[in-house]
Amino acid sequence: MSDTTTEIALDLEAKRLSVRKPEERYDVQGTMSDEQRVQKVMENFAKDFGHVAATYMEACIHCGACAHACPFYEASGGDPRLTPIWKIEPFKQAYKREAGPLAFFYKAFNLKPKVTVDELKEWQELLYDTCTMCGRCTLICPMSIDIAALVGMARHGMFHAGLVPHELYMVTEKAEREGSPLGATPQVFEDRIEWMGDEHEVEMHVDEDQADVLVLMSSIEIQKYPESMAATAKILNAMGKSWTFHTEGYEATNFGMLSGNLEWQRDMSMKIIQTAENIGAKLVILPECGHAYQALRWQGANMYGKPLPFQVQHISEFLADAVESGALKLKKLDKTVAFHDPCQISRRGGATPAPRKVLEALGVDLKESESGGDMNICCGGGGGVITIHRADTLRYKVMGAKFRQLDATGAEMMVTSCSNCRQNFDDSGEKLNWGKEMNSLLELVADNLEEAKQ
């Protein structure tokens, strides 16, 4: 993930501290002609024109209900281009013209014109900069159209046509080539494990030949929040688990999925799956990363081609099970807490109750924010958006609304279970002078272990 602190001119005439919108730009990769890019898009759109996509695209009744569910639409002041269903218009246009039941008429009378490269360049911003695939629009949609899934499918075509925002493309290519989008190579990972083990005086398990539990980390945690490694080790050691980090499969981040390249998504997932198989793991614990959860927990079996031979849990689910079973006992915190639900873990993943069980075990007074839980408003940085510098202006506006929502709870402490969200809170908090800190649920647990037994 690229540096998100790129300087952007301040707009001092705005009612509140804001940033001036960068110049419009459209990014392309490769040397394809416009015709070749359109052909690539159509070929890859067509691969996704199955019955699921067809049902969604035929079901839209144009009610516009999805608009107000989208934090980017709201933050823009109601820009109709940012209505969620409009973001997939080229995908829908291509389907209607080429594959839908009335395709002959659409094509014969040009009711749905052929997609052009200029349209695709324009839609690059809508598909990548202004959608985190958070899925809030899906819960609002009266026809239950999974617009987030359609955006993911549309990104497949865009990637193969070389129409991905540069920053997102660069970190994805780096992840495919080096194994990590942020340069957390196996050597870097191993060095950081040793550093954290010494720093926190905790026993680390690395490259064990056999282990019941394979533990993954996200690149953000390895590079920005390495204490997560020590926190995880401290908890698993206290529970007496047979576990290991492994340098052959440690990186949970999956930019193949975020950018739209299924082949690279599969490569990134298979490193983990093969490592887990090699060491005989019965459980793979995913780190505090929303899209990592989506990539392995819900799409991993699709990449593998059959059911995964091990269980997959997000760390918050693992912690919830541990406190419920009594395997992990925690000290009580005398604090009021507001929890930010990561979209891919909560709304898209179904793990909304897990962090609440952990917070209950910590004895905190949980202050639920407006639209908390499954309907939580996205932080605006997921789906690769935080990597794209030209998206900063609107992303900060989305986070401004998020800050106001959390501040309204009056809670003393802010907690989340996604390092990408946490990074976005840190970056936006500094830019917008929030004055508060977003804390990790995992680290909160590790800091408050009372006793543990297997």
| pLDDT value of residue 108 | 84
Rounded to whole angstroms, the Cα distance separating 251 from 273 reads 11
Ranges in the chain annotated CATH 3.40.50.1860: 178-321, 324-447
Once rounded to an integer, what is the mean pLDDT over residues 84-89? 92
Ranges in the chain annotated CATH 1.10.1060: 34-163
| pLDDT value of residue 32 | 93
Q: Interior CA angle at 370 toward 368 and 373, to 5°? A: 60
| pLDDT value of residue 20 | 52
- Res. 452: pLDDT tops 80: no
- Identity of residue 207: D
| pLDDT value of residue 105 | 85
| pLDDT value of residue 8 | 41
Q: CB-hemisphere CA count at 13 Å for 160?
A: 19
Written as six digits, the tokens of 400 are 């401004």
Q: What are the tens digits of pLDDT across the range 282-303?
A: 999 999 999 999 999 999 999 9
| pLDDT value of residue 23 | 61
Rounded to whole angstroms, the Cα distance separating 248 from 253 reads 14
Asked if 390 and 25 count as a contact pair (C-beta separation under 8 A), the reply is yes
Q: What are the tens digits of pLDDT across the range 344-402?
A: 999 999 999 999 999 999 999 999 999 889 999 999 999 999 999 999 999 999 999 99
Q: What are the tens digits of pLDDT across the range 163-175?
A: 999 999 999 999 9
Residue linked to tokens 């839209």: 60
Architecture category of domain 178-321 in CATH: 3-Layer(aba) Sandwich (3.40)
- Identity of residue 294: Q
Helices (H), 326-410: 353-361, 392-407
Once rounded to an integer, what is the mean pLDDT over residues 408-430? 96
CATH fold of 34-163 reads: Fumarate Reductase Iron-sulfur Protein; Chain B, domain 2 (1.10.1060)
Categorize the per-residue pLDDT at 107 as very low, low, confident or very high, splitting at 50, 70 and 90: confident
Query: In Å, what is the CA distance from 438 to each residue of 53, 224, 364, 365, 415?
Result: 37, 14, 16, 17, 6
Q: What are the tens digits of pLDDT across the range 173-182?
A: 999 999 988 8
| pLDDT value of residue 6 | 38
Once rounded to an integer, what is the mean pLDDT over residues 229-250? 97
pTM (2 decimals)? 0.91
CATH code assigned to 324-447: 3.40.50.1860
| pLDDT value of residue 113 | 82
Once rounded to an integer, what is the mean pLDDT over residues 97-126? 87
* pLDDT, mean over the chain: 91
Q: What are the tens digits of pLDDT across the range 255-278?
A: 999 999 999 999 999 999 999 999
